[in-house]
Amino acid sequence: MDALTHVLIGALVAQLPSSKPAKADTAWKPRALLGAAVALFPDSDYLLFWLNPLDFLAYWHRAETHSLLLSPVWAALISYLLCKLLRLQNAKLVFTICWLAIVSHLVADTLTVYGTQWFAPLSDVKFSWDLLFIIDPYFTLSVILAGLLMCVWGIKSCHQKRFRLAALSPPLLYLAVVLGIKLTLMAQIAPNADSRLLPQPFSPLYWQLLSEDEEHIYQAYIKFNTDPLADSLSHAAEVTGFAEAYTRTDALQRHSYTHPAHAEPIVQQAWQQPKFKAFRDFAQYPVVLAKDASATQSCIWFSDLRYHWPGIQPYFRYAMCQNRDGQWQLKRGRYFSEHNEEVN
C-alpha cells in the first residue's frame, strides 16, 4: 500500500480508542499526527534494501516489522520512547494508538498481492488477500471520506465510540464492493483450484487471471466493466494499450508461458544458478522477460507475472548473465526504466 494511504489510515484509527479524562478525546490533532507517523514505521525495513536488494525483495520486506506477533512489541517500544521524549502523560492511550496504527499498516498491506509475513519470525508464510492494487485512488478517497465523517460525527459527539466506528464504513463498504466484483468474475470464469485473480492499476474493475500447471503459466486480463476514469488515467500517463488489453469474460484471451524450470536448456541453466535462489523464492509466476547479448556476455531476464501490467514495464526484473568465460553474474533491472538496463 502507498505511504499516503498508510498515513491517512493511521490518523483515522488513532481516533478510535477512548481515554480518561474525557476531555482527552477532543485532542484529535495530536492523535492524528501520532497515528500517521507510527503507521509508517513498518516500512522502516526499506533501510535493508541497500544491503542486498534481491534478499530484501525475497525475504526481508514485510517480515519482522510487519509481524502481527511482534506488533505489540514495536508499539510498546515506540510508545515508551515517545512518552519519554515528548513527555506524554497517558502511556496506555499512546500505546493503544501506536498498536492500532501498526496493525492498520499490516492489514492494508495484506490487501495487496505482495504478501505479508504476519507470524515472522516464527513463520515466513506470506498472507495476501489480492483485493487492492498497491495504489488505489478509490480506496484512498474512501479513507479520506471516513476521516471527514470522523470529524463530523465522532470527535465532538456525545456518542463518540459508536459514531467513530460508523465512520469507518466508507473503506469497508468499498472493500466489500471490490470483493463482490472479484467473486462475480471468479464465478463467471469457473477457475481451477490454482487460479488467482489479481487487482490491476487504476481501477477495481480491471483484473489479471493467473493459473498454472506443471510446465506452463496462463495469463489473461479481464474487466468487470469499462472504467472511463481508469482509461483516461492510463492515456494521461501515456500507457499504451492499457484499456484495450482488458476484455470481458466471454472474450477471454489467455496467454501461455513456459515455466523457466521447463524451458530450453540455457534458460534452465540460468534459472537454477545458486545466485538466483532468492528470485526463485520470490517469484510465484516466473517467466522469461527477455534475452540480450553483447560482446562480453549473454543475459536472460526474468520477471514475475504478478507484476505485469499492460503497457507498463514490469517493476521487478532480474537477470542471470553468462560471461564469455562461462561465469554467471546476477543483475537487477533499473526501476521505472523502459529498458532492461542494469542498475549500477
78 pLDDT more than 90: yes
pLDDT at 294: 85
Contacts of 333 (CB under 8 A, 6+ apart): 301, 316, 317, 318, 319, 340, 341, 342, 343
pLDDT in tens, 170-227: 999 999 999 999 999 998 886 666 789 999 998 999 999 999 988 999 999 999 999 9
Roughly what angle, to the nearest 10 degrees, separates helices 91-110 and 28-38? Answer: 50
> What is the mean predicted confidence (pLDDT) over 41-61?
95
pLDDT at 339: 60
pLDDT at 341: 58
pLDDT at 233: 84
| C-alpha grid cell, residue 164 | 467513530
> How do the domains of the chain map onto residue ranges?
3-172, 176-258, 264-332
pLDDT in tens, 135-180: 999 999 999 999 888 877 655 544 466 667 778 899 999 999 999 9
Q: Amino acid identity of 225?
A: N
pLDDT at 24: 43
pLDDT confidence bin for 337, thresholds 50/70/90: low
pLDDT in tens, 3-39: 999 999 999 999 888 765 544 444 778 999 999 999 9
Contact, 198 vs 309, CB < 8 A? no
Contact, 171 vs 140, CB < 8 A? no
Spatial distance between the Cα atoms of 301 and 275, rounded to a whole number of angstroms:
14
Strand partners, 197: 209
41 pLDDT more than 70: yes
Contact, 33 vs 57, CB < 8 A? no
pLDDT in tens, 252-291: 899 999 999 999 999 999 999 999 999 999 999 999 999 9
Closest CA to 32 of 16, 48, 56: 16
- Bigger pLDDT: 174 vs 233: 174
pLDDT at 97: 95
Spatial distance between the Cα atoms of 25 and 22, rounded to a whole number of angstroms:
6
pLDDT in tens, 283-318: 999 999 999 988 889 999 999 999 999 988 898 999
Q: What is the DSSP string of 188-257?
A: HH---TT-EEEEETTEEEEEEEEEE-SSEEEEEEEESS--HHHHHHHHHTT-TTHHHH-B-GGG---EEE
Helix (H, G, I), strand (E, B) or coil at 117: coil
